[in-house]
Amino acid sequence: MELVWFRRDLRVDDNPALLQAIRSGNPVLALYVATPLQWQQHKMAPRQADLIFRRLGELQNDLKDLGVPLLYEEVDDYQQAVEQIQRICQTHSITSVHVNNEYELNEVIRDERLREALADANMVLHQYHARCLTIPGSALNKQGHYFKVFTPFKKALLAQWQPSAIEKIEPCQANSALDIVTQEWGNAQHSFRYPRENSQAWPVATRDIRQQLRDFCSDTVQIYQQERDFPARSSTSKLSAYLAIGALSPKQCVARLYANGEHLSEGGSTWLSELIWRDFYQHLIYFEPKLCKHKDFVEWAPRIQWLYSPEYLLSWQEGRTGYPIVDAAMRQLNQTGWMHNRLRMVVASFLTKDLHLDWRLGEAYFMSKLIDGDFAANNGGWQWCASTGCDGQPYFRIFNPISQGERFDAQGEFVRQWIPELKEVPNKFIHAPWKYSEFDNVDYPPPIVDHKAEREITLALYKEAKDL
């Protein structure tokens, strides 16, 4: 009997672990193990937990169509997950376990332990790559090292890689005589023991996710290049939540992108680049486990003198900084679990370069709120903005929250959507409402810091850290 352990790959399509288990010709069992204590340590957002919970119901249905039962277990952490899997292997006379790799340090260690434990009992762990477009380590520079700059990485990746059709998965014939009854998903036995927050705005049925991808690739992608930076417009795919939990794979995205022919539009090429950024950061954590230990990427960054200010942090978290574009973005995050990419950059820059707070505080808060929380992308994004990262933003490039608002939300549509208190403020002052003559009558705080002054402080702090 083969066992497929599902983790952040909650799909049946483009899932090599499942495909190969079925192709073995042996009966196949599927398993999901909830690890609430581990999730807490990784600060997984309750909204993402809800998304995973709901998605598991769909996965159970999709697996049922293939004749594969989904077992469910709840333990505390990865250590217990490994022990539990050993027990399951004994109970069901499993000979091989199939998994798709994850590249974060704790996950790598977990799989290493499992491989050793299985080997001791004469079982095999089969590991596959399905999280990225390319296998970490497959795109290297001439010296055989991983790329530290995105553009050559992208070039190397595109040079050695061809978009390919997704292999169709067939039902598991060997399971026809299998006599294992599993509980319908959502049954009281599936308690999940983790706080959950409503994620209904994200449909989880496979056909709905596929349709969203199809609609984006046949329609919106055409305007992606011109429109993607404007948060009031719906011009990005909003597929990140599915990519993060593996309800969708990047290869499925690219296969759909190329479905209309080999020549990509400008929008299509830009979208492909974003998916390659995703690979870039996944490859990076594979090569640099220190990133999973909360370390800066660049060697001089630990010398940056961050400020300690719980009050500033709270104002930022709650969207009360007095800078409308920052506050609107944080309220979007708090209320929906998602934030537009441009605004992720703006609020991250504000936290680190206007409030001088350690990027790790922002990274952790994002993780605790994001429905698409993904360690590699989040860490990469935060370190890029804080200028401590691999191919990060130069430290002297500091976003101005007023001009970012004026440029990307000129009519204040986005700001007014999330901060109704500013509805009456004229466009001219919408990104600097304290300059409005009637500001005293508006229920909105004045700026907690002066951007110009803080910018100078940041330049000095970073220069000092770099020159030391």
Ligand X SMILES: Cc1cc2nc3c(=O)[nH]c(=O)nc-3n(C[C@H](O)[C@H](O)[C@H](O)COP(=O)(O)OP(=O)(O)OC[C@H]3O[C@@H](n4cnc5c(N)ncnc54)[C@H](O)[C@@H]3O)c2cc1C
Residue 384 among the catalytic residues: no
Residue 359 among the catalytic residues: yes
Q: Is 366 in the site for ligand X (CB under 6 A)?
A: yes
Buried b / exposed e over 241-258, threshold 16 CB at 10 Å, is bbbbbbbbbbbbbbbbbb
Shortest distance (Å) from residue 340 CB to ligand X: 6
Interhelix angle 324-336/401-408, rounded to 10 degrees, is 70
How many chain residues are in contact with ligand X, going by CB under 6 A? Answer: 28
Query: Of 415-454, which residues contact ligand X (CB under 6 A)?
Result: none
Tell me which of 47, 110, 256, 344 binds ligand X, using CB under 6 A. Answer: 344
Residue 274 among the catalytic residues: yes
Closest CA to 56 of 198, 173, 192: 192
Shortest distance (Å) from residue 33 CB to ligand X: 22
Residue 306 among the catalytic residues: yes
Q: Is 243 in the site for ligand X (CB under 6 A)?
A: yes
Shortest distance (Å) from residue 359 CB to ligand X: 8
Is 409 one of the annotated binding-site residues? no
Counts of helices then strands in the chain (DSSP H, E): 19, 5
| DSSP assignment letter at 28 | E
- Residue type (1 letter), 233: R
Q: Residue 420 class from Cβ within 10 Å (0-12 exposed, 13-18 middle, 19+ buried)?
A: exposed
Residue 277 among the catalytic residues: yes
Nearer to ligand X, 31 or 244 (CB): 244
* Maximum alpha-carbon separation in the chain: 78
Binding mask 187-226 for ligand X (x = CB under 6 A): ----------------------------------------
Shortest distance (Å) from residue 210 CB to ligand X: 15
Closest CA to 402 of 424, 422, 429, 426: 429
Q: Is 238 in the site for ligand X (CB under 6 A)?
A: yes
Among 91-99, 125-133, 240-248, 350-358, the segment contacting ligand X (CB under 6 A): 240-248
Report the alpha-carbon angle 384-389-390, nearest 5.
105
Cα–Cα distance, 141 to 122 (Å, whole number): 38
Tell me which of 10, 49, 130, 275 binds ligand X, using CB under 6 A. Answer: 275
Q: Are 329 and 343 in contact (CB under 8 A)?
A: yes
Query: Of 382-421, which residues contact ligand X (CB under 6 A)?
Result: 382, 385
Nearer to ligand X, 21 or 343 (CB): 343
Q: Is 240 in the site for ligand X (CB under 6 A)?
A: yes
Note the helical H segments in 3-91: 16-23, 36-41, 46-65, 78-91
Query: Of 368-387, which residues contact ligand X (CB under 6 A)?
Result: 370, 372-374, 377-378, 380-382, 385
Closest CA to 18 of 3, 33, 34, 8: 3
Nearer to ligand X, 246 or 324 (CB): 246
Structure tokens at 242: 């599915």
Nearer to ligand X, 80 or 212 (CB): 212
Closest CA to 8 of 317, 242, 196, 318: 242
Report the alpha-carbon angle 216-233-235, nearest 5.
20
Is 271 one of the annotated binding-site residues? yes
Structure tokens at 409: 């939300």
Q: Is 345 in the site for ligand X (CB under 6 A)?
A: yes
Q: Is 278 in the site for ligand X (CB under 6 A)?
A: yes
| DSSP assignment letter at 293 | G
Among 36-44, 276-284, 426-434, 451-459, the segment contacting ligand X (CB under 6 A): 276-284
Residue 185 among the catalytic residues: no
Tell me which of 101, 134, 206, 236 binds ligand X, using CB under 6 A. Answer: 236
Shortest distance (Å) from residue 107 CB to ligand X: 16
Q: Which of 185, 277, 316, 384 is catalytic?
A: 277
Q: Residue 61 class from Cβ within 10 Å (0-12 exposed, 13-18 middle, 19+ buried)?
A: middle
Catalytic residues, which ones? Answer: 274, 277, 306, 341, 359, 382
Binding site for FAD: residue ranges?
A: 224, 236-240, 271, 274-281, 372-374
- What residue ranges bind ligand X (CB under 6 A)? 228, 236-240, 243-244, 274-275, 277-278, 281, 341, 344-345, 348, 366, 370, 372-374, 377-378, 380-382, 385
Residues annotated in the binding site, as ranges? Answer: 224, 236-240, 271, 274-281, 372-374
